[in-house]
Chain A
Amino acid sequence: MTAQIRGPVGSTQAGILGVGAYRPVRVVSNDEICERIDSSDEWIRTRTGITSRRFAGEEETVVSMSVAASEKALAQAGITPDQVGCILVATVTHLYQTPSAAAEVAHKIGATPAAAFDISAACAGFCYGLALASDMVRGGSSRYVLVVGVERLSDITDAFDRSTAFIFADGAGAALVGPSDTPGIGPVVWGSDGSQLDLIRQEESWEDAFRREDGPSWPHLRMEGNPVFRWASYEMAKVAQQALDAAGVTAEDLDVFVPHQANMRITDAMARAMGLPETVAVARDIAEQGNTSAASVPLALERMLEAGQAKSGDLALFIGFGAGLVYAAQVARVP
């Protein structure tokens, strides 16, 4: 009764120590997409900035892609799997209610008995996960946290829907978060707007789809492009600015801007609305990767590092936004 609880003790600051990516092998051109929809390579490029995207093959599962990306992130961070205290997988395409993808990923990379759970925050999943990981490290729940963003959106995209067939794609990105001497991850600015639930959604529940009287059907992802474009380009520009303010930095201080790769036009409109200086390198991974929802921010960061557009120690701004609607943004140091 009089015993005191000893509260958890964490690290003073957290940072991203390593990042890794897995891109499916199969490259799908716009022309191939146009075999099933009435559109053209030129229209897709102009409308979205996408020239090609990656679709996962049978062997490239949500779990296997997560494992591959995770192993690279751990290697870059110089951390072994047994040191990982928690694995968080952000995804909406692990098509099992249970067990989580994270539990299997933890087992396969040799991180058992790490804590493991999935989160469902659509295209904001990685930024949500990064915020949780930062809090866990600083709060003392886990010294090292693996955050994975992974999707097989091709599983739930209607190849015959001319408003979405060319957008969504597959892949995985991972970040290892751990203690840092200086603040490596800024405060998250995040939230939701459930009044706009209908803008991006799975069209019906699995139960409704499978128990139809005229036989089971497969529910697909539907999206209302124009209202989403407006929300993302303008409302999210405000959220991005708030994340800069929360971290005590300005757009002039930034080296790198990594928004969720929803659409190149959104990226450009958002950068314009923020008044982003020309000196800031902007992520454009969507051009050859497509929109990979929760995976898009870590994949885009990895590409910038590979291409030399971002380097270790750079100041970056991440922002994710998507179905829910939900959003999250934070400033962070590039590992």
Chain B
Amino acid sequence: MATTEEIRSGLADIVNEIAGVPAEDVQMDKSFTDDLDIDSLSMVEVVVAAEEKFGVKIPDDEVKNLTTVGDAVAFIERAGS
């Protein structure tokens, strides 16, 4: 399984591709909606891409709990282990 930093970096690439946010802004403490300006529709795209990239499943009702980048990274780490 990838390291925490590898997951964060992979997620940053996804967010950059989908929402145009610079990858270096996608840090663990950043909130998707408040800091990175990613709305719920873009989150759907981010989640689908992350599922494919990391080989995990992220259920719809789990997505609303992923407030920060760190929350998403932690979920992917747990799901992949």
Contact = CB atoms under 8 A, between A and B. Distances in A.
Interface of A: 46-47, 225-227, 229-230, 233-234, 265, 269
B42 to A, nearest CB: 8
B15 to A, nearest CB: 14
A230 B48 contact: yes
B41 A47 contact: yes
Given A226-B60, A227-B60, A234 B39 contact: no
Contacts of B29: none
A229 B39 contact: no
B2 interface: no
A227 B40 CA distance: 11
Of A46, A47, A226, A227, chain B has the most CB atoms within 10 Å of the CB of A226
B53 to A, nearest CB: 14
A234 B48 contact: yes
A265 B60 contact: no
Contacts of B35: none
Contacts of A233: 44-45, 48
A83 B41 CA distance: 47
B41 A265 contact: yes
B48 A229 contact: no
Interface of A is mostly: helix
Interface of B is mostly: helix
A229 B60 contact: no
A230 B39 contact: no
A269 B39 contact: no
A272 B45 CA distance: 10
Interface in B17-64: 39-41, 44-45, 48, 60
Contacts of B48: 230, 233-234
A226 B44 contact: yes
Contacts of A226: 40-41, 44, 60
Contacts of A225: 40-41
Nearest to B64: A226
Nearest to B60: A227
A269 B39 CA distance: 14
Nearest first, the 10 A-B pairs at minimum CB distance are A230-B44, A265-B41, A229-B41, A229-B44, A226-B40, A269-B45, A234-B48, A226-B44, A227-B60, A47-B39
Contacts of A265: 41
A47 B38 CA distance: 11
A68 B9 CA distance: 55
Contacts of B41: 47, 225-226, 229, 265
A30 B14 CA distance: 31
A85 to B, nearest CB: 44
Nearest to B37: A46
A224 to B, nearest CB: 10
A234 B45 CA distance: 9
Contacts of B45: 233, 269
Contacts of B60: 226-227, 230
Of B39, B40, B45, B48, chain A has the most CB atoms within 10 Å of the CB of B45
B80 to A, nearest CB: 21
Contacts of B40: 225-226
Nearest to A266: B41
A140 B25 CA distance: 62
Given A226-B60, A227-B60, A46 B39 contact: yes
Contacts of A229: 41, 44
Given A225-B40, A265-B41, 5 more contacts: A46-B39, A47-B41, A226-B60, A229-B41, A234-B48
